[in-house]
Structure 1
């Protein structure tokens, strides 16, 4: 066998090991495009919506798709397309806002619980108590005790998500604080705040990014469930859950009232979850190592 032919399999094997680790799958590309389009629709809703989403027209109720109402109208004569576009604004605001608030609150609590053993027992027992209550039931209870507006709904959705962030950060800190560089920083006289925020917190950023994507998707779904059950934002607010809740009465004669908001909700959550999986595969060094060995 010639030297050229003997080296060819090695080059091919090397390409097979490196290519999958850096190649974005078609599903990830489609998910990114879908999420970008939904985000653009949410931001540009005032300019893209052909009608006022709150404007009622009883004479035009339950219209099929036509030149005036591109997706038809609902039982109150409101334009379905406009309401779906404005519903994206509410869903993305709740999802992104809930994820950011959960990370901002859960990150310091998790670092403190993982670094100080005395606080660990207290903080984690509170987190265990919150996790023992189903997310939707806790959110319904919080919304029922307060006025249903965007901030209270976000708070009701965020509180059950905080324990997930705290437990994740705590587990990372418990592992990282035993590393030699952390012990060296402590022995050299570094302050506890420097050790926690300069040496321990960077280790939590990669898993937190992944966790934030799942919290965002979960918050969007929870908001839709609350609105569908009548425990979320007022029915006058165009949200995907409210649109489906109002349309279920007319499902047999006009299924599009549920189909279009349900399709947007499914695409949004699926896209966020796929991007979260991609972020996990990219940021987790163990998965990168296994991908490179294939």
Structure 2
């Protein structure tokens, strides 16, 4: 087991900060001081005050309430994108690593996907399907699947040469049993680590798409949408960009630090060095 002394304090501080952000977003309906969608033209661009903790945006909406609700949606997109990308990537990677004929076809398709700029794929899909949460999740997922496939394939190619897998083949075990009972468990550790990186990347990509106006509809608050709306008011109330940007940075940095710690903890080579 990896101790705090071995990993350093950074992952534990990151976990605490990430937990705080998650709790803040989960309980946003109870914590929010105002309706995040309610507009008040008389309260436009107000500075932080007792009534509005972080001030108001260009439509008089409470920035704090919008920010914590936006965090819930941004995190939801990140988690959903990671789950879908991992699910598809693991299945395709298992097939590519186990069946040599399928490997050649699948990997050429994955190489073609990886050659395309991910941001252009995302913008194209959102433009084609319209600005919705589902479209953004799909746009983020597609570029991530090839990375998962390549990782799973490399694990399977190594694991299928292990004696216990060869013994299962020799004994006539069915292909599904070999894939899911003998090979799939070998992918769990790298997939946990990869999942954290996908979540962080998905949150950043959603923010970038929304900031460019190619993401979720502006009626739905996300960190990216809030920052995009704050561009024209930056000199008057820079907090519209800075506060959601700070939460976005804390969230992504924390997830990446936790992912690095998980990688070190689950990597047998790291365990040998620490021993």
Q: How far, CA to CA, are the matches of 2:142 and 2:172 in structure 1?
A: 37
With the length of structure 2 as denominator, give the TM-score of the two structures.
0.97
1:218 alignment partner in structure 2:
201
Equivalent in the alignment of 2:22: 39
Task: Give the Cα separation in 2 of the matches to 1:222 and 1:131.
Answer: 16
Larger Rg: 1
Give distance in 1, aligned partners of 2:181 and 2:2. Answer: 34
Counterparts of 1:196 and 1:252, CA distance in 2: 58
Structure 2: runs of 5 or more not aligned: none
- Report the count of equivalent residues: 275
SS of the residue aligned with 2:173?
coil
Q: 2:161 aligns with which of 148, 161, 178?
A: 178
Counterpart Cα distance in 2 of 1:112 and 1:41: 41
Take 2:266 and 2:3, find their aligned partners in 1: how far apart are those partners?
Answer: 15
Segments of 5+ residues of structure 1 without an aligned counterpart are: 1-17
For residue 54 of structure 1, the aligned residue among 32, 37, 60 is 37
Q: Per-residue deviation at 1:217?
A: 0.3
Aligned-residue RMSD, C-alpha:
1.3
- Whether 2:111 is the aligned partner of 1:115: answer no
1:85 matched to 2:73: no
TM-score of the superposed pair, with normalisation by structure 1? 0.91
Distance 1:278 1:287 in 2: 11
- Cα deviations by residue, 1:186-235 (Å, 9 ceiling, x for unpaired): 11121111111111110000000000000000000000000000000111
Deviation string for 1:85-127 (max 9, x for gaps)?
Answer: 0011111101100000001111110000000000001111111
Q: Judging changes above 3 Å, is the alpha-carbon distance between structure 1 residues 187 and 96 closer, same or farther for their aligned structure 2 residues?
A: same
Q: CA deviation at 1:25?
A: 2.2
Give, in whole Å, the separation in 1 of the partners of 2:50 and 2:109. Answer: 56
* Residue of structure 1 equivalent to 2:141: 158
| Cα distance in structure 1, aligned partners of 2:5 and 2:232 | 48
